[in-house]
Structure 1
């Protein structure tokens, strides 16, 4: 089959620097002071831009363990109350530099006066939670498909950079020839995608839980930088090819956060896009400019500095600072502006309380293309944690929507009643 790829649109090379940056030199201060402010702002913008595209190899363990009590079904952990730990639902707690992993149950007690929360310990996959002092909160719940009781196989998907590991989870009940490909988000691993296996298995879909360039599992690019979806989609295309070579006739892409941007890019650019029947996107990035502006504001970075950071990512000149092999074409990945161009049926599950990828662009995309996009709105859940807050609703929504979307299409003219001759 043909594997030719459509080239991304080029960024114009004559794009001007943001006016707010040059305005520093005319803000009524001395040239020396203005130069110092400009230099400081440039350094901050450069740091902001590099951080966006540089994979994080060490994750901060910023959640404090106060006590671990009991054993077996009665085991409980008492944690310091934070914006994350006070939200109800099931989560994971990684500790000991990621070597330890425990699954925690729903919120059992919250004492605002003492600043503590108590949760049950459902499972301890690795490490000794009783010795943990600090850890990292995560929406990841399972460590492998085996934790769900599913048979699976470690396979390698041949990408243009080399073999990328994936979990192949075969369908069990009434298998179909539709496969699901699970695409995790920025800074995450394949574990993030395991939640999607539950409705996929219910529908008889074989699943391929993939890795992609620079995620720590798949081969890295020479620059070692994320391209925010602009190149990662090629690894998803390789996964589609693997599925087709092993019996699939069509594909559903599941994507979380940046995995949503990657899935949208695959549906737009891949030479195999005709095989993609549907997209299921959890808290997807559909407009990177909006996300970066939100992140700048959240981190108290001045608006002009944040815009200059975007410029560094989007302009060929900025590669010397960001270390990227190629600039990012933000317009090509702006699916709010390109809403009518999306022709693949898409389900978006997104929380209005998402603190990392704002909900607004998802709502705009759905509003501008209701024919193709269905939006399921959640509340209280933080970024990519819609399943954690309400797994039954998340799974039920995905299963019902895919059942309808993947239903066999009637043949032309089917169902029409012939009229008696007059």
Structure 2
């Protein structure tokens, strides 16, 4: 302090300096939070190019494979195991032995590639890769969508039938996911149509190559409903896994062809994206303001340059808990309390809001979209019983 400078002026300078520092810190925090919101939003909307191989392969022989311990490695059931960046595929079965450092499971077969020299892999819910794996007749068909022909598998019922099921896979997977449902529907006399939709790697892509979380994908499923009706279907069931569940819910609440749909089967579905996105954000330790900002970004037209999407997504329109009274047809809802990706919260809420039309089968231990894998007998029985009631 100089001889003529008063203490109050020094204090004022200190306060001003502190204010500038705090303001800069707050601005930096806001910028960082904004960047995280953009990253989260783009991650949700952008189809992934590759999947993490989060398991270590410790060894294998002709009938077993030994993996590093993890939730996936230690969950009972039948699963796919992908390796070599998805160029390789094997099927694994029940746990043979386990210890704190290793899990040995049945190796049911290697369909693609070789496990020799492979050290990393990931577990997936697909078990069948093609209709031919089921030992049934099938044919490749194209569904005429607004974006162009979308390939599908048509698997006729064992006997001529006007009852059809349209299988709709979830986010970041393809129609192979729906193959698990073919046997139980076929035994019930259904023809199966397993479809692709925009941006899934099989169907034509949209101009922005972004998911709309069901907000536009439903139009491709509407085209599949029209295809089924044009080919003799008089009773159509839509079955959707995960985001496929969100998509078929949009069909029956927005399509002019909704009257052709007799019922829905929803497996690990997204019933309310707001709940799902909060859960995903929490899983990545994102604070609430970042999560809220990300949802605002995907909902606003001005943010298209940040998210890359062509049109905003109406998350409220995708909330079928709030819109539960708009539903008019029977629904079988299958979800696990240990889903790990999409919480069963909204599924429970929908079941509570519409007990008159919703049959809720809540599993435990099974992971996201892997209820069949964990307990195929219970999964098949639940669908069979529901279809029997639907036929009355």
Q: Under a length normalisation based on structure 2, what TM-score does the superposition of the two structures give? A: 0.93
1:50 to 16, 39, 42: 42
Residue of structure 1 aligned with 2:359, choices 365, 374, 378:
374
Displacement of 1:374: 0.9
Partner residue in 1 for 2:337? 352
**Matching of residues 1-16 of structure 1 within 5 Å:** none
Match of 2:220 among 227, 235, 250: 235
Partner of 1:92: 80
Partner residue in 2 for 1:36: 28
CA distance in 1, matches of 2:318, 2:20: 38
Partner of 2:244: 259
Say whether residues 1:129 and 2:126 are aligned partners. Answer: no
| Equivalent residue number for residue 110 of structure 1 | 98
SS of structure 1 residue aligned to 2:73: coil
Task: State the Cα deviation string for residues 262-303 of structure 1 (Å, max 9, x = none).
Answer: 000011111111000000010100010000000111100111
After TM superposition, list the pairs within 5 Å mapping 1:203-222 onto structure 2. Answer: 203-222=188-207
Take 2:192 and 2:243, find their aligned partners in 1: how far apart are those partners? 19
* 1:332 is the counterpart of 2:317: yes
Bigger radius of gyration: 2
Which SS does the other structure have where 1:394 is aligned?
A: helix
| Distance in 2 (alpha carbons) for counterparts of 1:331 and 1:368 | 17
Gaps of 5+ in 1: 1-26, 408-422
Q: Per the alignment, in what secondary structure is the counterpart of residue 37 of structure 2?
A: helix
Work out the CA distance in 2 between the residues paired with 1:130 and 1:168: 36
Distance 2:325 2:194 in 1: 29
| Shift in CA distance, 131/155, structure 1 to aligned 2, threshold 3 Å | farther
Deviates more, 1:42-51 or 1:121-130: 121-130
**2:342 partner SS:** coil
What is the count of residue pairs matched by the alignment?
Answer: 374
> Is the contact between residue 352 and residue 377 of structure 1 (CA under 8 Å) also seen in structure 2?
yes
Counterpart residue number, 1:159: 145
- Give the match's secondary structure for 1:311: helix
Counterparts of 1:66 and 1:401 in 2: how far apart (Å)? 43
Do 1:277 and 1:406's aligned partners in 2 also have CA atoms closer than 8 Å?
no
Q: After TM superposition, give the deviation of residue 131 of structure 1 in Å.
A: 3.4
Task: Give the distance between the partners of 1:187 and 1:28, measured in 2 at CA.
Answer: 46
Q: Which residue of 2 is the match for residue 13 of structure 1?
A: none
Given the alignment, which residue of 252, 255, 258 partners 1:273?
258
The residue correspondences of 1:116-195 to structure 2 (distance < 5 A) are: 116-172=102-158, 174-195=159-180
3-state SS of paired residue (2:304): helix
Q: Classify the secondary structure of the residue corresponding to 2:96.
A: strand
Distance 2:306 2:26 in 1: 22
| 8 A Cα contact 1:89 1:106, kept in partner | yes
Partner deviation per Cα, 1:338-374 (whole Å, 9 max, x = no partner): 1122112110000001111001110110011001111
Confirm whether residue 82 of structure 1 aligns to residue 67 of structure 2.
Answer: no
1:313 aligns with 2:321: no
> Partner of 2:12 in structure 1?
none
Tell me by how many angstroms 1:132 deviates: 2.1
Provide the secondary structure at the position in 1 that maps to 2:116: helix
Aligned to 2:57: 65
| Helix, strand or coil at the partner of 1:141 | coil
- 1:410 aligned partner: none
CA–CA separation in structure 2 for the residues paired with 1:118 and 1:248: 46
* C-alpha distance after superposition, 1:180-203 (max 9, x if no partner): 100000001111111111211111
| Matched residue SS, 1:89 | coil
